[in-house]
Structure formats: structure tokens, C-alpha cells
Amino acid sequence: MNKKSLAILLRARIMPNNSSKLAVSPLPNAVHKILSKSQHPASKNGNKPPREFEHVRDSMHLAISMNKTEVMDAVLNDFSEGYFSLSYENRRRLLLVLAKEYDLNRTQVRELIKQYLGVSGEDAQSAGPGEDGVPATFYRIERNLRHALKPMYEALFERLNMHPGGLKVLSSLRADILYILAEENIASLRALDSYLKEKLSTWLSPAALELHQITWDDPASLLEKIVAYEAVHPISNLLDLKRRLGVGRRCFGYLHPAIPGEPLIFIEVALLKNVAQTIQEVLWDDPPIPECEATCALFYSISSTQPGLAGINLGRFLIKRVITLVKRDMPHVSTFATLSPIPGYTQWLLSKLASQSKLAEVEDCSQSSADRSGCTFQENLLEPEEEKALMDLSEEISAGKNGMEVMWNLLTSRNHEWSNSAKLLSVLKPPLLRLCVRYLLQEKKRGKALDSVANFHLQNGAMIERINWMADLSDKGLHQSAGIMVNYVYRLENIEEYAQSYFSTGHIHASDDIHSYVKPLKEHEVMTDQRG
């Protein structure tokens, strides 16, 4: 493959072909069949017939139960290839079998707990340090209990992790699990996911990952992955890709030896004089400045390439290592910031506007904000001057019974017509910016920021510095956040402190400029950084 082939900008993801490892009793006939298949000429080309469900299930059982290491590679390869040949419904069936039939032995766990509780505490205290008897019994039962609490499917995960290409298979397995759980909450499958996520988090520790600066000189196969997996700002053509890897730009990715040539996550950086306020100036506008004049490293896109690694925060380690690397190579860069999307803002706002308009109808509240505040569940989303400005528009542009309904009608208009009108923009700007800050600072889920990108950067130790009006004019940007973007700043001396306070108490650090948009919050809800 050469660089010219990248013009196709393939977005098909590579299908893994790997496997796993474990132990119990061998099944000679099944092993013989698998070995026969692996040696069959058909296994050396791409014309393999789809495996039947029962055959893949047998392969999975062998991968979990057998002890013969000399044939393990063939078993794991057969399971992996068979799994990827299954239909979605049969993959679902197989994963449910794995979750339910290869779980831990709860009868054995209960019996061991009974034995443990049956040991006399007085005898345990009276036995000396070097004696046999009760203390040794405790140790034996505890050892057996630890073993019994490990589900049988742990063997599959462990063996796949040790098998060439197996980590990719595990990532794909978990991607399927997450997809199923998004449709239905199955307790056994959720337990399987939790166990696999814990294993993957251990195997993908920073010590096992290689930080690689991605350049135009890298193999075309790797660059193709960057094009395919860029999730924030799609790469439009070869010129766009080359610019993102050229002067004044950096791209770093985490690679793992088990998945060669494919970054697990990558981050794109722009070297600028000041913190950018719009994505247009980063991607399309002026040519890059000389790197020696840069004082700001701006992170403008972070993309994960493996859906099966969702919830494993590789980005936290990546950002910190990139900051360290850039600071080492470019001491004159003193500001580390982001220009980030706000993917959940419009969805949250439209939901609030719709529900409040509905409540206004049901409770028959007055149009005035003073009367509305007395309603049981109704909330005043708009300031009086914002309401008046929107209602003044209603007669000539977008009819509505109140300001919230007018705003909802404008934001849901086809092709975002409001974004092309200077008059509409001037009326919508104050409430949209104010409510956006409210969304970032005050809207929480389990005590943490509701917005996923905000939560990511805040838990990594950033603070909210500034929100930017009409910063992303793409259809995606207008749809997700009414074109608004946010700058998070990483202050080197405060990263650990901010991350810890956010993690432990939910404190959100933000500049005074951010706080000027909203009413003062209680001390336990947000902490102001006076230096912002």
C-alpha cells in the first residue's frame, strides 16, 4: 500500500483474527476436529465457510477447559475465527452462554463460607504463630475461596491476552457485550463486562503502552487508521491529513505491542500563539505560525479507536505524557489547553425546553417569569430580557406561546436556518451561552459533570476557562451544541489537585469569566480559580 491509496479514505475497521487461553479437562475428539480444520487448505485462504454456532461453542469450551498448551494456539485461533464468522444473534447467544455457564461456582462459594464461619474464633486466637491447626485452616479456606471467586471465563480472557492478537479479540468481544447491554440490562452479562473491563484496565496500564508521534512518514496502513477513526473533526482529504501531521501540528498515539500498527487512542495538537476560539482557525484558516513562536499547545481532537475499551481512561495518561513531551521539546510553550466540543448540550437544552413548555400548558402558568416561579415543577430557563427578545421575534419569524417555545422552534428548524441570521444570532446568543455554562457547571450525574467530554477533562485535572460562540459551524457542531465550544486549560502546577478534588467531591474549577454567566453557586458545588 502506498500513500496514494489513502485518497480512498477507507473507514472499514480491520476485523481481528485472534484468540485465548485456560484450563480444565480436554475433549480429544473436539481437539482433533479443530486441529484438522487448522491444517485444511481452506484455512489458508479467505474462503472459510461460516462456523456453526455449536462448533464455536465447543471451541470456546476447549479454550477455557483444556490444559494441552501445545495445541492451545490452534484452539484459540479456531475460536476467534469462528466467533467473527457468527451472525450478531449467534454472537449474543454465545456471550450469554459464556456469562451464565462459565460464571463462578456459587455452591462451592457458599460451602467455603460455611466452613470459614464454622472455624472457632477462640481456637484461632489460642494457636501460636508456628502451629498447625486453626490458623492453617483459615489460610487454606481463604485460598480456596479466592480461587472459587474467580469465574471460569477468566481463563478465556487470560489465554487470549497471552495469545498473539488476542487483545484485539478481547476488545471486540467487549464491544459486542456493550452493544447488547445498551439494548437490554442482563445481570450476568453486566458482571462479565465488569470483569473483562477490570482485566483490560490492568493489561493496558501506561507501562504497557508506547507513546508514538504519528507523522506523514509513518506507514500508510497506520495513517489510514487515523483517517478512519478520527471521531471529532473528520479528515476531509489527503491535504487535510498532511496538514494535521505537518508544521505547527502534532499527533500522538498510544500503541500496544499486541495490536501493532493501530493506535488505541490518539490526540491531535496545534501549536499556536494563543488559545484558539474557533475550530475554523485550527483546521482551515491561516497557515501555521513558526513553531518557535508558539506559546500554546492546543488539544483539539482526541479519538479512541476501540469501542471495546470504552470506560478505560487511556486519554488521561495520554494527555499527561504529551504535555510532558511537548514541554521537554518546546520549553517556550507554557499554555496547555483544549478546544473541545460539548456533545450533550443541545440534547439537554431541547429536552428542558420541551418539558418546561409542556408544564406551562398543564399548569396554565402566566407568561411572566414572576408568576412562573410559583408553579410547582416549572423552572424559569430564560431571564426576563431574554424572554422579551424572543417573544418580539415570534410574530415575524417563529411563533410560540412563550420564549422557551420560540427558542425550541428555532433550534429545531431544518438546516439550522437560525445560524445564518444576524438578528436571530444576536437574540439567541445570551441565553444559549448562559445555559451552556449552567449545563457545564451545574448539571450533574452521580455527582460528576453530565457532559461526557467535560467529565473526561475535569477528571484529568483541567479547569473550564472559556466558552466560545459560533466556534464550530459544521452541521455536527450546530447540531450538538449550537456551534458553541469550550476551552479547558491544564495548569501544570494544579493538575493533580484539580483531578483529586473533582474525583472526591465533584468540585469543578472554572475561571471568573465562566462564573460571570451564571448565578453564584454554593461552595460544595463549584470552586472558582481566581487566577482564571
- Active site residues per annotation: 340, 457
Length of the chain: 532
Which positions ≥6 away from 58 have C-beta within 8 Å? 27, 30
Rounded to the nearest 10 degrees, the angle between the axes of helix 345-363 and helix 422-442 is 100
Alpha carbon separation from 200 to 178, 276, 324, 395 (Å, rounded):
14, 36, 25, 58
Rounded to the nearest 10 degrees, the angle between the axes of helix 88-101 and helix 53-65 is 30
Cell of 500: 483529586
Nearest alpha carbon to residue 225 among 240, 209, 241: 241
Dihedral angle sign, alpha carbons of residues 126, 132, 135, 137: negative
For 23-89, give the DSSP string.
Answer: -S---HHHHHHHHHHHHSGGGGSS-PPPPPHHHHHHHHHHHHH---GGGHHHHHHHHHHHHHHS-HH
Identify the H or E element spanning 356.
helix 345-363
- In this structure, the number of other CB atoms found within 10 A of the CB of residue 349 comes to 23
Q: What is the Cα–Cα distance from 462 to 459, expressed in whole angstroms?
A: 7
> Side chain identity at 385, as an amino acid letter?
E
Nearest alpha carbon to residue 82 among 127, 34, 150, 40: 34
Identify the H or E element spanning 426.
helix 422-442
